[in-house]
Amino acid sequence: MSRGLIIYVCATGSKSLRYWGQNSYGATHGNDPANWQRALSTYCQDDVINTIPLAFLNVFFSVGGQPEINFANICSSNSGVFPGTNLANCQFMAADIQACQARGKIVTLSLGGATGAATFSSDAQAQTFADTIWNLFLGGSSSTRPFGNAVLDGIDLDIEGGGSTGFAAFVNRIRSHASGASKRYYVTAAPQCPFPDAFLGPVLNAVGFDAVYVQFYNNFCSNANPSSWNFATWDNWARTVSPNRNVKIYIGAPASTTAAGSGFVDATTLGNLARQARSQFPSFGGIMLWDASQAYANGRYDIAVKNAMGSGSGGGTTFTPPPTTTQQQTTTQQPTTTPTSGSCAGVSSWSSNVAYNGGSKVTFNGHLWINQWWSFNGKADLN
Catalytic residues: 160
**Which residues are 69's β-sheet partners?**
57
Q: How far apart are CA 106 and CA 95, in angstroms?
A: 15
- Compute how many other C-beta atoms are within 10 angstroms of the C-beta atom of residue 149: 10
C-alpha distances in Å from residue 243, one per residue of 129, 215, 236 = 23, 21, 13
**Which residues are 369's β-sheet partners?**
7, 362
Q: How far apart are CA 20 and CA 23, in angstroms?
A: 7
3-state secondary structure of 167: helix
C-alpha distances in Å from residue 100, one per residue of 122, 144, 157 = 36, 22, 21
Q: Is 197 left (phi over 0), alpha (psi -120 to 50) or beta?
A: beta
Q: How far apart are CA 352 and CA 291, in angstroms?
A: 40
Q: How far apart are CA 41 and CA 153, in angstroms?
A: 16
Q: Write the DSSP symbol of residue 165.
A: T
Residues 6+ apart with CB under 8 A from 300: none
Residue of 4, 7, 95, 16 whose CA lies nearest to 52: 16
User: What sign for the dihedral angle of Cα 332, 363, 232, 258?
Assistant: negative
**H-helix segments, the chain:** 24-28, 94-102, 123-137, 167-178, 201-206, 231-240, 267-280, 292-297, 301-311
Q: How far apart are CA 300 and CA 48, in angstroms?
A: 10
- Compute how many other C-beta atoms are within 10 angstroms of the C-beta atom of residue 334: 13
